Structure 1
Amino acid sequence: MMTYRSEGRKTLQLAFPIILGELSQMSLHLLDTAMIGFVGYKELAAASLVLQVINIPFIFGIGVTVSVAQMVSMAQGRHDRQLVSHYFFNGILLCLVAGLLISLGLHLGKNVLWHLGQDPEVVQLALPFMDLMSTSIIPMILFMALKQFADGLQYTKTAMVLSLSAIPINFLLNWLLIYGNWGFPRLELVGAGYATLITRTLICVALAIVILKHRVFRPFMAVRKNQWKLRRTAMKQLLKIGIPSSLQIGMEAGAFAVSGIIIGTISAQAQAAHQIALSCAAFTFMVSLGLSQAGSIRVSNAFGANQLTKISFIGKSTLGLSLMYGVLCCIIFTVFRWQLPTFFNHETEVITIAATLLLFAAIFQISDALQAIAAGLLRGVKDVNIPTLFIAIAYWVLGIPFGCLLAFYYNMGANGIWLGLIAGLSFSAIFLTLRFLNWNKRNGVNR
């Protein structure tokens, strides 16, 4: 018998490896931020600038990979192995093209950094780092596409193990190349770029070998002669989910990225503090993202099997989990807002600004968790267009303009930008959650 507790437990079981994998990937960013931060605050500001600019197109690429999990999970719910293989091949090709185009565009457009009102010394440090990070997008998007395929089949542990193994690899490469240990050249920020590129390539190749060779995935690889063909219908179905998903994730990440660029025009210290606070908030968000992906996969599987009552139980139990988690994160950020910045930098002004921003981050933890999970649940039932409109309004009509108004007209600086983000996240959380609950009512599910 389905209950909210039993369905919540099943979602957590599926989400746990995904969460660990996402936390591992975010740990790589935190690791880079911390190790670069101890070189100097201008290097940290340069890394922040590059990550903010790259994140906008990069997240669009990650959004395309989401469609692989959705379509694979739906085909699995129909018990159609050939269709699963069909979506795998077409999805990987789609993601490869997306990765190549994004990387090429960033390489060609890197001089935009000079036109964003940033400290010229920061921009000079950022340019070679941007080249390396742009190249590393290709193996990372391919890794995410392969991971989404495995996650869509609810085999989540393989990508988790590889993501965890990336942490010591990246740490060692950073230690060698940033600081010049064991006879390696001291490359500082550029060294962090090389470490990221090498690490992402290694885990991508390893996951590809596992999926192609491991017995768990063999039933889906065995039909490749019939299904491993480029098909227009499959591409349309993947893009129908992938493009709105990319827009949803991209508009949210883009809002945070643009906020970082805007804060960079205030001062390098404010930008460094923003990167610290944002890194902490992004780390906790990985748990919400893992819950969102697990809930979305389970809902998509139930949707493929036409189990509408099960969708209601899965969705509402996952939303309940997000509320509890959001409250916990709010408490942690409030209590430790002065201690957390010291892990990244020792500049007094940077720590003071970051502590204040972490208090704002604490406020939006509940709405951030709710909106991520509600959006994932709606993707699971192929409801992506109206949610995309809600997210556009939340961040680009409400959040960023309101934040700029507070920051510059009312002279609130970085604090004003973050208050705008709180407003946008709250709007998104309310309207996406209500839409999922209304979807249940429209389909006659009142549990």
Structure 2
Amino acid sequence: MTPADVSTPAELRALLRLAGPVVVSQFASNALSLIATAVIGRLGARELAAAAYANAAYYLVFIMLVGVMLSVAPRAAQAYGAGNGTGVALALRGGLRLAALLSAAALPLMWVLAAFLPRFAPDGVDSGLAAAYLRTYSLGMLPTLAFTALRGTLEGTGQPRAVTAVALGGVTWAALVGPALAFGLGPLPRLGLIGAAAASVSASWWMAALLWRPAQRRVRRGGGGGAAAQDVGAEVRALFRLGWPIGLTLGAEGGMFSVTTLLMARFGPDVLAAHTVTLQAITAMFMIPLGVASATGVRVGQAAGAGQFARARRAGMVGLGVSATVMLAFAALELLAPRTVLGVFVNVQDPANARLIATATAFLTIAALFQVVDGIQVTANGALRGLQDTRTPLLVSLLAYWVIGLGVGAWLAFSLSLGARGLWFGLTAGLSFAAAALVTRFLHHTRPGREARALRLSGDGSGAAPPSD
């Protein structure tokens, strides 16, 4: 157990040891989608359009389900911090059961949606191909949700390296199997878009299967014994209560960016392309604070589970400092060398892209501030998850994204005639509000005197009091 008086440098070292593998895992997860997109793009515009249309229908539901499953990590972290091996085992078993229940509810919905997809497909999209892709791709839902539960257990108990190894193995699998099934290799037939979807599904099942043994071994080593069926059922309910606000928070954020993209289309294809390229650039950079946020939540959760709120406060502030520093460095790169950043995603030497580059450069100037506050808000959100506080962050996110972000952005873009830049200013305003509100709430939860209160409520100092104010 980490001592309550751990120094800030020691906390920083512990955070970086945990965050390093988590960040690599985040990049690996992002690489899976990049590989799939690259394979499908080489099949042709028809296949790419069909996959994009199907993914648009699939993504919002899927990301909310993944958000629910993110509740496993803070539950495991707090149990681990309290020295409760049975609690860690319950978090894993409850998480796997919850993954099965969510999949049982959502998978039929995806197949029904696939049946109705052809009725709403726009001209130029092969609706039959999109429906077939959606049916195949959705078969990876269960293993992906199970992988999230297994990953949460390992990361929550401070063992992220197995997750990283498996995630990198999944990337290798997808890179080899994707082209083989899509284009045909040796005795394998050319399956086209369905083959690309099947490769993604097989990678999901492969990764979940590989991570099963390390997670089970971790639980056994922690002293996690058998648990009664009613205990697992209660854990499922606890995970869902903690997780559904996380899922809606991710859905609200994803919805904000989707609506912004739709509004951006009103300014023409060049502006929309510049917006898309800028988002691609900052999304790649965002993997680092996203990984730091996950690690921060684990560190905060372990300290809170031990009833050590002073250490939880220090862990959260160290995580916020790391994310802010990283994003400030990226902001400097975007301001000083925007063409270098954009050159990763588009040919900046092509005269045909001159307008796109100029517009994207203007967006990057705003994104420099946008990314700093975005890194802070996601890390503060992670720290609050470590305290098992998810409902108030949901309300903050709804207000920040849908009222301030979209409201201010639309007002600046259309009423004040700032154009597309106004939408980016609106996003920055919303994220700035979220960052300030979430950091304030975290500091409130870990204020001096909180630890003594937790000790009084727990009676013996073995557990943390849940956030209640």
TM-score normalised per structure 2: 0.82
Displacement of 1:367: 1.1
User: For residue 343 of structure 2, what is the amino acid of its counterpart?
Assistant: Q
Contact (CA 8 Å) 1:45, 1:268: kept in 2 or not? Answer: no
Structure 1 pair 372/184, CA: closer, same or farther in 2 (3 Å)?
same
- Is the CA contact (8 Å cut-off) linking 2:270 and 2:356 kept in structure 1? no
The aligned amino acid for 2:379 is I
Once the two structures are overlaid, the 10-residue window that deviates more, 128-137 or 256-265, is 256-265
1:53 is matched with 57
TM-superposed CA distance for 1:49, in Å, is 4.0
Question: Which residue number in structure 2 is paired with residue 425 of structure 1?
Answer: 431
Distance 1:165 1:184, change over 3 A: same
> How many angstroms apart in 1 are the aligned matches of 2:398 and 2:118?
27
Alignment of 1:326 with 2:327, yes or no, is yes
Paired residues of 1:264 and 1:270 also in contact (CA < 8 A): yes
Matched, 1:88 2:92: yes
Higher relative contact order (CA 8 A, sep 6+): 1
Q: Percent sequence identity over matched residues?
A: 28
Q: How does 1:3-402 map to 2 (within 5 A)?
A: 3-40=7-44, 43-44=47-48, 46-110=50-114, 119-122=122-125, 124=127, 126-182=130-186, 184-212=188-216, 214=217, 216-219=218-221, 223-224=225-226, 226-227=227-228, 229=230, 231-260=232-261, 275-334=276-335, 335=337, 336-342=340-346, 348=352, 352=357, 358=364, 360-402=366-408
Flag the 1:48–1:425 CA change in 2: closer, same or farther, 3 A: farther
- Counterpart of 2:461 in structure 1 is none
2:63 and 2:423 mapped to 1: Cα distance? 21
Q: Distance in 2 between matches of 1:416 and 1:35?
A: 35
CA contact (8 A) 1:75 1:81 kept: yes
Once the two structures are overlaid, the 10-residue window that deviates more, 9-18 or 93-102, is: 93-102
Do the aligned residues in 2 keep the contact of 1:337 with 1:359 (CA within 8 Å)?
no
The one-character-per-residue Cα deviations of 1:70-104 (angstroms, maximum 9, x if unpaired) are 11111112212122222221221112211332232
Give secondary structure in 1 for the equivalent of 2:247.
helix
How far apart are residue 143 of structure 1 and its match?
Answer: 0.7
Please tell me the residue identity of whatever aligns with 1:432.
Answer: L
Q: Which amino acid aligns with 2:132?
A: P
CA distance in 2, matches of 1:340, 1:112: 38
Contact 1:245 1:384 in 2 (8 A): yes
* Counterpart residue type for residue 441 of structure 1: R
| Cα gap change, 1:157 to 1:129, in 2 (>3 Å) | same
RMSD: 3.3
User: What letter matches 2:124 in structure 1?
Assistant: E
**Structure 1 residues 147 and 17: alpha-carbon distance in aligned structure 2, compared to 1, 3 A threshold:** same
C-alpha separation in 1, matches of 2:13 and 2:400? 31
- How has the CA–CA distance of structure 1 residues 417 and 186 changed in structure 2, closer, same or farther, with 3 Å as cutoff? farther
- TM-aligned CA distance change 1:406 to 1:56, over 3 Å: farther
When residues 106 and 418 of structure 1 are mapped into structure 2, their CA distance, relative to the original with a 3 A threshold, is farther
Q: What secondary structure does 1:342 align onto?
A: coil
Q: CA deviation at 1:415?
A: 5.2
Task: Give the deviation of 1:7 after TM superposition.
Answer: 1.0
Tell me the CA shift for residue 384 of structure 1. Answer: 2.1
How far did 1:162 drift?
A: 0.4
Q: Structure 1 residue 188: deviation in Å?
A: 4.6
Separation (CA, whole Å) in 2 of partners of 1:359 and 1:48: 29
Deviation per CA, 1:340-369: give whole Å up to 9, x if none.
22389x995696466665555444211111
Change in 2 beyond 3 A, CA 1:413/1:40: farther
Give per-residue Cα distances to partners, 1:395-432, cap 9 Å, x unaligned. Answer: 11122344455666678776554443323222211211
Q: Give, in whole Å, the separation in 2 of the partners of 1:76 and 1:418.
A: 41
Q: Could you tell me which amino acid in structure 2 is paired with residue 322 of structure 1?
A: S
Secondary structure, in 3 states, of the residue corresponding to 2:294? helix
Provide the C-alpha distance between the structure 1 equivalents of 2:181 and 2:277, rounded to a whole number of angstroms: 22
Q: 1:185/1:261 Cα in 2 relative to 1: closer, same or farther (>3 Å)?
A: farther
Paired residue secondary structure (1:340): coil
Deviates more, 1:101-110 or 1:304-313: 101-110
Deviation (angstroms), 1:185: 4.6
Unaligned regions of 5+ residues in structure 1, if any? none
Greater CA drift, 24-33 or 325-334: 325-334
Flag the 1:278–1:103 CA change in 2: closer, same or farther, 3 A.
farther
Contact 1:263 1:271 in 2 (8 A): yes
Larger Rg, first or second structure (1 or 2): 2
Secondary structure of the equivalent of 1:2? Answer: coil
1:278/1:128 CA distance change after superposition, 3 Å: farther
1:439 alignment partner in structure 2: 445
Q: 2:293 & 2:243 partners in 1: Cα distance?
A: 16
Structure-2 separation of matches of 1:291 and 1:223: 31
Moved more, 368-377 or 192-201: 192-201
Q: Note closer, same or farther for the CA distance 1:261–1:92 as it changes in structure 2 (3 Å cut).
A: farther
* Distance of aligned partners of 1:63 and 1:27 in 2 relative to their CA distance in 1, 3 Å threshold: same
Q: Report deviation, 1:181.
A: 5.0
What is the CA distance between 1:20 and its match in structure 2? 1.0
Gap runs ≥5 in structure 2: 452-469
Which sits farther off after the overlay, 400-409 or 294-303? 400-409
Give, as a single letter, the amino acid of the residue that structure 1 aligns with 2:254: A
8 Å CA contact retained: 1:318, 1:373: yes
1:150 alignment partner AA: L
Partner Cα distance (2:37, 2:352) in 1: 17
**Take 1:182 and 1:269, find their aligned partners in 2: how far apart are those partners?**
42
